[in-house]
Amino acid sequence: MEIIDDLKAEVTLTQREYQMLRMKARVIYVVTDVFEEHGVLKYAKVAAGVVGGGIEAWGGYRLTKLGKLLNLKTMRGVGLMLIAYGANNVYESVSPLIYEHNKAGPIRAIYREAVKIAGLDDDAGDMAYSGVEFSLTLYAAIRMPVLTQNHNRLLTKYFGDQPGTGKLFRHASNDFITKWASRNGAMKLYFIDNSAYKFKAEFIDENYKFDD
């Protein structure tokens, strides 16, 4: 009986150690998974893509409203395209959660099908997609109208009037200047440098490629 009891105790201890090793292995697996493509980094990329696409769509919505206010059809058109691109980027960002792999959005798919007619591959379509998107965001960053205070205002700034107020005759075209014109010299240099860096990262470093 003593030998049997010792054997039972040994088996129980072995089972406990085995479960501890299994738990340790599971913890290591989970921690490793968190810092790999299918863990936190994956969801961080998804979140960044959703936020970026949302900001792009919101900028397009503002541009569309301002284009309508100022009766500028080109600006409205760019705004609508930015909304479409932003929505497409959001879709592509969340596609790994839906399909467990990246899936090209409908707008990118149109570009890919268009270049295939010319005998080119998907990478050429991705480059065209990114090229148009880069041009649209550059246009919005430069041409976005911003309110400015008119020099013919009736009240001085010390009375708390806001941009676009204090004029005897309100003409919307006089209340707005382009975002580029509103920047000082240092911010203009920063914008040019940042745009050049994004262009290099997107097209020279080939970040425009989208892997399904």
Task: Give tens-digit pLDDT for 179-198.
Answer: 888 888 888 888 889 889 88
Element (H, E) at 176: strand 176-178
Separation CA 51–CA 35 (nearest Å): 21
Task: Give the structural domain span for 198.
Answer: 35-204
| pLDDT at position 127 over 90 | yes
pLDDT band at 124 (very low <50, low <70, confident <90, very high): very high
Residue 17: inside a domain: no
Q: What is the mean pLDDT of residues 60-75?
A: 88
Nearest to 212 by CA among 113, 105, 69: 105
Residue 142: inside a domain: yes
Instruction: Using the structure block, give the residue that is written with the tokens 């309110």.
Output: 147
Separation CA 137–CA 60 (nearest Å): 9
Separation CA 113–CA 123 (nearest Å): 11
Residue 89: inside a domain: yes
Task: Give tens-digit pLDDT for 18-50.
Answer: 666 666 555 555 555 555 555 566 777 788 888
